[in-house]
Structure 1
Amino acid sequence: MKLSKKILVTGGAGFIGSHLCKALLSRKIEVYVIDNLSTGSLTNIEEFIDDTNFHFVQADLCDGILFNESFDWICHLASPASPDAYRREPIATLRVNTEGTRLVLEYARQCNAKVLFASTSEVYGDPKMHPQKEDYWGNVNCYGERSCYDEGKRCAEALCYAYAQTYGVRIQIIRIFNTYGPRMQATDGRVICNFLEQISRGKTLSIYGNGEQTRCFQYIDDLLAAILRILSMEVCTSPMNIGNPEECSILELAKLLCELTSSNLELKYFSMPLDDPSRRCPDISFAQQALGWSPRVSLREGLLKLIHSRKN
C-alpha cells in the first residue's frame, strides 16, 4: 500500500487522531499535527513526540495553520466529538467545523493537497431510513443542544463540496460511526466510556430511555484500516460511511460489558436526552466496493481489547 510522504493531521492529539499519527509514523510518513488540546491530550502522543518525523504545534486551528509546508494530504479531524464536550463548548465546536474547515480547504487549495474530512453519522440525526445510506439527507434538529455538532459537520461537508466544485480541491468525506478503543477519555460521556467508568466504580449503570435504542460500534483498528486505504488512493469525492453494521441495543451493550468484566450491576433508568437517535446503523456497501474494506473486529472482541488496555 503506497502512502503519501507528508501529511497534516488536525486534531492529531485526540483519540482517533493520535491512533492515525501512530499508524502513519510506523509507515515512515512525515506527520504534522495541530491541536489545541481542548479534548486531545499530550499523553496520547507522548510515545512518538520525539520522533524526527513527528511535528506538533499546540494551537487553535481557527487561528490559522502555522506550518509553512506543502502536504500530500490534510486529514481534518479537529473537533469535539463527544456529547459532553460539544455541549460544553458549542461555539468552539461550530467554529472548528466551519472556520477551521474553510482554513483547511484554503490551505489545501494553495498547496494542492488532498483533504480527508472526518464527518460523522450525526449528520443523519434521528434517522427515518434504516440502515443509513450516504444519499439519505437526514433528520436533524438545527436548533438544539446537539445542533452545534450535527449542523457544524453538515456545514463542513457543504464547504468541502463547494471547494471541490469551485476550485477542484480533491476531497474525501468519511462519515464515521461510533468508534471506540484505547485512548478514549474515561469521562467523555460516550456510552462505552460511561459504562466502563461506572463498572470500575461499582456504580449502577445509567440507561437512558428504555435502552432499546441501537448503535453500531466500530473498533479503532477497523477505522484506521479504512483511512489508510483512502490515503493510498485517489479520492472518490462522494461521502462514505465508515462503521461496523453490527447493530446493538444499549441494553445489550450493558449486559455484554457486565459479562466481560464479571460485574453484576443494577440498571438505573433516566429520561431520554433531547434528539438522541433511536436507531443508528451504517450501510457500508459503498466503502466495501470503493475500498475493498470491511470491518473485521467484532464488538465482543473489540471490547475485550479495550478492557485489557485499561488494565495496563
Structure 2
Amino acid sequence: MRILITGGAGFVGSHLADRLMLEGHEVTVVDNFFTGRKRNIEHWIGHPNFELINHDVVNSLMIEVDQIYHLACPASPPHYMYNPIKTIKTSSLGTLNMLGLAKRVRARLLLASTSEVYGDPEEHPQKEEYWGHVNPIGPRACYDEGKRVAETMCYAYAKQDKVEVRVARIFNTFGPRMHMNDGRVVSNFILQALQDEPITIFGKGLQTRSFQYVSDLVSGLIALMNSNVSSPVNIGNPEEHTILEFAEIIKSKIGGGSVISHVQAAEDDPQKRKPDITKARSLLNWEPKVPLDVGLEKTIQYFRNELNATKGTFQPNARKQIPGSE
C-alpha cells in the first residue's frame, strides 16, 4: 500500500514507519520537525519505497495514498503548552486537511487520539463509552480539547462524506527515540536517575498511570487501521502503577545516588489513568506483549547511550516534567 504518516519523524511515528517499511509498503513521512527529528528516520532516506516531506499539516497537502496515519501533534505537555495556539491549529486545521485529503483520494484515515480526551476521569478504568471530565479552559485544554474536536471531525466526515476513519485513544507510551527534553514521566525519571539527580514527583505520587512499550502501540495501530472497527478504541496497557511506584522501579533498576523528591502538585493532573482494553482484545485480537521490565531495560539503555553521545551538551534544566504526559 501507499501509506502516509503525519508526524512520522517523531517518537511513535518513526517506529510505525519502520514497521510499515519492513512490511514492504510505500511510506511517505510528513513532518515539520517541531518535535520530530530527522535522525529517527534517516536510515530509510534513499530507499525507493520511502519519501520524506518537510511539511506542516496546518497547510493542505496533495498526495496519492491508500492509508493515512495522522499522528502529527506535539504529545508531551511542555511541547504542546509551549505554543497552545499552534497545538490547537494542528489538531483542528491539520485534521481537517488530512480528512479532506482522505476524502479526495478515498483513503482510510487513522487518528492518533489520546487518553487525555477522558481528562481527570470519574470512571475507572476508562472505557471508550466514557465521555470524559475535561477542563476546557485549563493549561492542558489546547491538547485535550484539540484531540476531542479532532475525533468529532473524523465522525462528521465519516457520516457526511463516507470517509473511512479509525480512532485510536493512545495511553502512556515509552521507548527508544523519546526526546530527552520532552518532559514525560518515563524520560524524566530515567534521565534523573542516570545523572544521580533527585527524581521529582508532583504531589504525593499516588496518581496512577499505565505504561505501554512503543512496539505494542505500533502493533495496535496497525491492527486497528486494517480492521473493520470504526468507533474509538483504547490502545494501552492496563497494568497500573502509582507514579511513586514507577519512580521506585526505575531507581532500583538504575541504582546510583538519586533520591525521590516531592514537589507541589500540578494543575489538572489526572489522578487515575488505566485503559479498559476489552474492545481491543475482542475486536482486534490485540493486547500488550512487552513486559514493563523488558521495555524499561531497552529504554534505559537508549537514554544511557544518548547521554554518552551528548556529554557536555545536554542541559537537564531544559526539560520540565509535567505529570500525566504520555
Instruction: Using structure 1 for the length normalisation, give the TM-score.
Output: 0.96
Q: 2:94 aligns with which of 91, 96, 100?
A: 100
Describe the SS at the equivalent of 1:28. coil
Tell me the secondary structure at the aligned position of residue 41 of structure 2: helix
2:280 aligned with 1:287, yes or no?
Answer: yes
Structure 1 match to 2:258? 265
- State yes or no: 1:55 paired with 2:51: yes
Cα distance in 1 for residues equivalent to 2:5 and 2:168: 15
How much has 1:132 moved relative to structure 2? 0.1
**Map of 1:168 onto structure 2:** 162
What is the CA–CA distance in structure 2 between the aligned matches of 1:12 and 1:133, rounded to whole Å?
Answer: 28
Q: Which residue is 1:251 aligned to?
A: 244
**Residue in structure 1 matching 2:271, options 247, 256, 278:** 278
SS at match of 2:100: helix
1:311: Cα distance to partner? 3.5
- The alpha carbon displacement at 1:50 in A equals 1.8
State the 1:261 CA deviation.
Answer: 0.9
Indicate if the aligned counterparts of 1:187 and 1:197 stay in contact, CA closer than 8 A. no
Partner of 1:120: 114
The residue type paired with residue 13 of structure 2 is: G
Indicate yes or no: 2:203 matched with 1:209. Answer: yes
1:211-231, Cα deviation, whole Å (9 max, x unpaired): 010000000011111122223
Could you tell me how far apart the structure 2 residues matched to 1:201 and 1:259 are? 14
Structure 2 counterpart of 1:16, from 5, 12, 15: 12
- Amino acid across the alignment from 2:281: Q
Instruction: Provide the rounded CA distance (Å) in 1 between the counterparts of 2:196 and 2:215.
Output: 29
Matched, 1:68 2:81: no
Segments of structure 1 that go 5 or more residues without pairing to the other structure are: none
State the one-letter code of the partner of 1:182. P
**Are 1:303 and 2:296 matched, yes or no?**
yes
Using the TM superposition, give the Cα deviation of residue 33 of structure 1 relative to its aligned residue in structure 2, in angstroms.
1.3
* Partner SS, residue 58 of structure 2: helix
> Size of the alignment, in residue pairs?
305
Cα distance in structure 1, aligned partners of 2:122 and 2:278: 19
The residue correspondences of 1:69-88 to structure 2 (distance < 5 A) are: 69=64, 71-88=65-82
Q: Is the 8 A contact 2:216 2:290 kept in 1?
A: yes
Between stretches 277-286 and 220-229, larger displacement belongs to: 220-229
| Contact kept? 2:3, 2:28, Cα under 8 Å | yes
Query: Given residue 54 of structure 2, which amino acid in structure 1 is its aligned partner?
Result: Q
Aligned to 2:180: 186
Classify the secondary structure of the residue corresponding to 1:57: strand
Residue 263 of structure 1 and its aligned partner are, at CA, apart by 2.8
SS at match of 1:141: coil
Contact 2:7 2:72 in 1 (8 A): yes
Matched, 1:142 2:136: yes
| Unaligned 5+ runs, structure 2 | 306-326
Secondary structure of 1:62's aligned partner? coil
Among 235, 238, 251, which residue is 2:231 paired with? 238
Name the structure 1 match of 2:193.
Answer: 199
Distance 1:210 1:19 in 2: 34
* Superimposed CA distance per residue, residues 37-80 of structure 1 (whole angstroms, 9 cap, x where no aligned partner): 00000111111122111111111111111x432x1110000000
225-234 or 75-84: bigger deviation = 225-234
Identity %: 47
* Aligned equivalents of 2:256, 2:247: Cα separation in 1: 10
1:181-228 CA distance string (max 9 Å, x none):
000001101011111111122111101010010000000011111122
* Offset at residue 308 of structure 1 (A): 2.2
Give the alignment partner of residue 155 of structure 1, picking from 125, 128, 149: 149
Letter aligned with residue 115 of structure 1? L
* CA distance in 2: counterparts of 1:222 and 1:179, whole angstroms: 9
Measured in 2, the distance between the counterparts of 1:215 and 1:201 equals: 24
Q: Quick check: 2:191–2:303 contact (8 Å CA) kept in 1?
A: no
